[in-house]
Amino acid sequence: MTINYDFIRNLIGLQGIKVVYSNVNNGIFKVFATSVFNIAICLDCGRITYTVHDKKFQAYKRLLIWGMDIVIALEKKRYVCSCNPKHPFDESFSFIRKYGRYTTTYENYIFTLTHKNTVKNVSNIIGNSGATCQRIYNHYAKAKAYLAGCKPEPLRFLGIDDIAFK
């Protein structure tokens, strides 16, 4: 039986990748993918480079489909440019933040859940640590200017006597 990998790519909704292989094991749908492009634009000089320094597979978590966890094992390339050969740079994808382990749709899901729940409840629902959920919430709240209008309450000092008499 042949598998239509274009269907899987369209199902998970990620652009710029080519699905190489997929596997379902213990309720986790794992997709192995590579980039469609074999070029990158240098961050220093802006020229196009074709020279790959090294490659690695990195796992990214995505939203559930059919009640199964989705893990994308993505081959990330590091490119090197002739203007600065000692500092290779990573390939970038539009659906992943730099240094992130989750797709942006998954992070937005965590952000919207955190609006309606506490961070501890969201971390229990998702299965991540509370610090990860808090960090994701802070990033998107800052980006969407939710925290810009928030002002902390003014400080009030109460003495022990004030509490005892009231």
Q: Which pair of tokens denotes residue 5?
A: 């990998």
Strand partners, 19: 33
Greatest Cα pair distance in the chain: 80
Task: Output the pTM of the full model.
Answer: 0.70
Considering the chain, what is the average pLDDT of its residues? Answer: 79
Q: Which pair of tokens denotes residue 42?
A: 């240098």
The answer on pLDDT for 2 being more than 70 is no
Q: Which pair of tokens denotes residue 138?
A: 């802070």
Give the length of the chain.
Answer: 166
Q: Which pair of tokens denotes residue 63?
A: 């939203």
- pLDDT tens digits for 75-95? 888 899 888 888 888 888 888
